[in-house]
Amino acid sequence: MKFFYNLALLISLGMISYAQEVPRSTQYIFNNILLNPALAGIDNYTDLKLGYRKQWSGLEGAPSTQYLSLSTAIGEEFIRSNVNSFSGAGNNPMSRSQVNNFSAAEPHHGIGLVAMTDKAGLIRQTSVNGTYAYHLGLTTEVNLSLGISAGFNSINIDVRRIIADESGDPLFSANNNNRIRPDVGAGIWLYSPRFFVGASAKQLLGSTTIAESNQVKTSPYQKTAFYATAGYKIFLDEDIAMIPSTLISYWANSPAAFDANLKFAYQDKFWVGSSFRNNDSFSLLAGFNIASLVNLSYSYDVNTSGLRSVNNGTHEIVLGILLNNRYQVSCPSRQF
């Protein structure tokens, strides 16, 4: 028990000193708006997702994350037009024939909301961001989207539970640690029915608290998070598609993280997949769609690092709801 408490304290102190990175999601490929605001309004329905991630289950003080994302397109032409190039009555958007008939979306705007809370050890981080994106067609099949996000990030540390030899250490002062900071991000997204390529940055503005020589100082710069991702859809036959994708994440003064993801989808009914993150974990994923209203996905991560002997893996579950889905699309054709 003492080991677990000390580990939780270590996690918390590390976050106090170096600031919390943006919480991870194994299921990034199904909800890229968490990382890139250019995804706002990419589909012609309102996409609502609710997620819960329990990292390193069984380990006291381990991170747990809850998040909500909401995205919708605005613009009468885009909403009323059949921009996905398949009718509203049951055609399979995963099929090869639908991809071959695909046309780029009409120029339009998108707005969204991303809210997230993450608790690890004695620290809780909360962020809320509004997103905006503009989508335009470059060719008959390829779209480009540019997006921005703005909001706030707050970090709250329960300093009352910290037991230290020097209780007067300024590093433990709530006045230094419990603050609300601005959070600004930007992103770009290039996509077609067969591929996507994107890049984004979060935490572009705002200060952070650092500890140097037993003193707390304020740095004018946050540790910006950078992301680059890409994916491609390969049809194995008329109904089965294979989608390999990758994500590279980088935070200042931290080693880059590399995610490789492979998904197999059967029509617009269900999918299975696997993922690997360097020096961290291997994951299994699965999900299914219920009519054209609900989709549910689950992932389980097994650690490949030294933590694997003291935890029971990481669980993540995401519930998606497709609102105002007038064309009865069962799976997102533009997000894979």
- Domains in the chain: boundaries: 21-323
**159: which 2 tokens?**
């300093």
Helix ranges restricted to H, the chain: 2-18, 76-80, 96-100, 174-177
Higher pLDDT, 128 or 156: 128
Higher pLDDT, 2 or 247: 247
Q: What is the CATH number of domain 21-323?
A: 2.40.160.40
pLDDT-based confidence at residue 82 (cuts at 50, 70, 90):
very low
Alpha carbon distances (Å) from 169 to 11, 25, 41, 309? 18, 34, 47, 33
Per-residue pLDDT tens over the stretch 146-165: 999 999 988 887 766 666 66
**Which residue, 263, 327, 266, 258, is CA-closest to 292?**
327
Listed in sequence order, the residues at least 6 apart from 53 whose beta carbon sits closer than 8 Å to its beta carbon are: 23, 24, 25, 26, 63, 64, 65, 66, 67, 314, 315, 316
Res 51 pLDDT > 90: yes
pLDDT of residue 328: 74
Q: What value does the mean pLDDT of the chain take?
A: 79
Res 288 pLDDT > 80: yes
The answer to whether the beta carbons of residues 192 and 142 sit under 8 Å apart is yes
pLDDT of residue 224: 86
Res 197 pLDDT > 60: yes
pLDDT of residue 134: 95
User: What pTM value is reported for the model?
Assistant: 0.81
∠ CA 326-328-333, rounded to 5°? 110
- Taking residues 317-328, what's their average pLDDT? 86
Res 94 pLDDT > 60: no
pLDDT-based confidence at residue 11 (cuts at 50, 70, 90):
very low
Res 202 pLDDT > 70: yes
State whether the Cα torsion 38-39-41-47 is positive or negative: negative
Higher pLDDT, 12 or 99: 99
- Taking residues 95-102, what's their average pLDDT? 61
Looking at the chain, the whole-number percentage of residues with pLDDT higher than 70 is 71
Res 293 pLDDT > 50: yes
- Taking residues 188-211, what's their average pLDDT? 83
